Amino acid sequence: MIKTLFVDMDGVFVDYEKHFNDHSEVKLSFYNENKDYENELDALKSVFVSKKEFFLNAPLMDDGIELYNNLLKIQSDYGFYISLLTAVGKHHPELAVEQKMKWAKKHLPDFEFNYVIRSHHKANFAKPYTLLIDDREKSLNPFLNKGGQGILHTSAKNTIENLKNLL
């Protein structure tokens, strides 16, 4: 039985890919296709340093409000604890935490905010009664390996459908 939902921010609520691509010379898909996460972090560091409010000004996903409202309804119906669980990266984590927290308070005020430095550290929150909604397998797989449950986010519609099937 699920008691706690952890929901990633970037790629789930935040249109991280669009925002990254708007500010970087190399598209995010290049790094993802090549599983070149270290160079993605270096590119992000460069973007982050040049755009001091990078995370704060990131756009909401087109279906972010739909997901948020559906999760609030599920929370009300089932009594789940829901918290954001986002990775802030090893480059300037204090600035990323501050900006992501402000972004969350503005756009997702009903959810608590938790963070980790690297995405695979989300597994530290895994328990048999926890579920992580995340758009990246590199975050989900360690969580699943530690005994948590997961949904690979592709859209609000699919995530809500998958979540309802688990209830």
Residue 33's pLDDT is 60
What does the pLDDT read at residue 91? Answer: 73
Q: Tell me, what's the pLDDT at 14?
A: 95
DSSP assignments along 101-155, one per residue: HHHHHHH-TTSEEEEESSGGGGGGG--TTEEEEES-HHHHHHHHHTT-EEEE-S-
- pLDDT given for residue 82 in this prediction: 96
Please give the chain's pLDDT, 167 residues, in tens. 899 999 999 999 999 878 777 776 666 665 556 555 555 555 555 555 456 687 888 999 999 999 999 999 999 999 999 999 999 987 778 888 999 999 999 999 999 999 999 999 999 999 999 999 999 999 999 999 999 999 999 999 999 999 999 98
Return the pLDDT at 53: 80
Report helix, strand or coil for 76: helix
Question: In the prediction, which pLDDT does 100 show?
Answer: 93
User: What per-residue confidence (pLDDT) applies to 94?
Assistant: 86
Instruction: Name the fold adopted by 4-15+59-166.
Output: Rossmann fold (3.40.50)
Ordered by start, the domain boundaries in the chain are 4-15+59-166, 16-50
pLDDT computed for residue 50 by the predictor: 55
